[in-house]
Amino acid sequence: MADADRDAGGALRGIRVADFSRVLAGPYATMMLADFGADVIKVESPAGDDTRHWIPPVDATGRATYFGGVNRNKRSVALDLTDAAGLAEARRLASTADVVVENFRPGVMARFGLAYEDVRALNPGAVYCSITGFGAGEGAALAGYDLLVQAVGGLMSITGDPDGEPSKVGVALVDVLTGQNAVAGILLALRERDRTGEGRLVEVNLLQSLLSALTNQASSTLATGAAPRRLGNQHPSIAPYAVFRAADRELVIAVGNDRQFRSLAGAIGSPTLADDARFGTNAARVAHRDALRELVEQALAAASARHWVDALAAVGVPAGLVNDVAEAIAFAEALGLEPVAETPEAAAVARPHRSIANPIRLAGTGAAYRTAPPALDADRGADWLPRG
């Protein structure tokens, strides 16, 4: 990729990112930056990012889809940081970077002479983002695996059937949330550098990212001293707000106020529900949620989920099918959201690499999808190492 192509377009044009991260949280963050024009140089071990080997599934090129989902628009160089020559190249890259991102366990980058203090001595303007599982203090020795954080961070305690075991979310959501926080922190630090000329240390960790994302569940715990319990797909404070079974499949109904409930009752052919004292207010509906659920599902059994989604939409009641991932992508496409990004592969591959588009829309200088996820060490060459 030529220099002119790397820098063409994007709000982050001219920003160079030395990306020492791997797996998900860090690579997700750096891909978000790369989509808006940052030149992201992905530094990998000679064995490559762990996710290169997380197969199946693979795409048309034989590349792990896990790796392919978070590494577009980047260059790859393989450096052995335990080797003097490789470490020297890494330090030189850090000395020229606007942003350095790493997600090793605390202390690892210091052993290589690439900790924040080391990079700051080489490059006072660098923004240095450190992503950890549990911070750099007492939790430094804990392994930052998403499943572990979902467990100890409380998410599993409120996810799953009330009578079943605690459940994880179906994707490494905490990693993704942490990656988003890393992007926000990096952009804040770059803005501060615009003002002062100095770089900043940005620290984010999985546990605090999750606790912040617990929002109402955490605030209720702090206010009442009582930890919330698992409710399956029901809401602790609103009813009916859950998954319901129709004649053929499930749908979600999300009633947020009394007006919507009255509309729901009429649409499903049970208008007297809105006049029942057990269901007249949201608080009453929450108290009698099980009885309400039974009555609603009796009515829904008369027709298909698609019928009810359309009927409820017509009267302003939020409802939708429980889609699988393929259906979800198709739904977004039907709404004109253009959820799939295509990036060119190597000439030998007949079709482009497809991935989910960047969710941020920025008028006038939006995301661009320039290159597919790189092969390991694909960008090593006489001129790969940027000049200061």
Q: Which pLDDT value is given to residue 2?
A: 41
Q: Tell me what pLDDT residue 7 has.
A: 43
Phi and psi at 178, nearest 5°, equal -65, -40
10-residue mean pLDDT profile of the chain (388 residues): values are: 48 96 97 97 97 94 95 96 95 97 94 97 97 94 93 96 94 97 98 96 98 96 94 90 96 96 96 94 95 96 97 97 96 96 78 93 90 92 67
Pairwise CA distance, residues 73 & 373, whole Å: 6
State how far Cα 291 lies from the chain centre: 36
| CATH for 241-330 (3.40.47.10, 3.40.50.300, 3.30.1540.10, 3.40.190.10) | 3.30.1540.10
- Taking CA atoms, 14 is separated from 6, 9, 40, 69, 84, in Å, by 9, 10, 11, 24, 29
**Using N-to-C axis directions, what is the helix angle for 173-196 and 25-35, rounded to 10°?**
50
Query: Of the listed 7, 175, 310, 383, which one is catalytic?
Result: 175
Kindly report, residue by residue over 121-160, the tens digit of the pLDDT: 999 999 999 999 999 999 998 989 999 999 999 999 999 9
Q: What are the extents of the domains in the chain? A: 3-213+339-356, 241-330
CA 316, CA 313: separation in Å to the nearest integer?
5
Could you tell me how many residues make up the chain? 388
Architecture in CATH of 3-213+339-356: 3-Layer(aba) Sandwich (3.40)
pLDDT for position 6: 44
Residue 175 designated active-site: yes
Name 23's Cβ contacts closer than 8 Å, sequence gap at least 6.
49, 50, 51, 103, 175
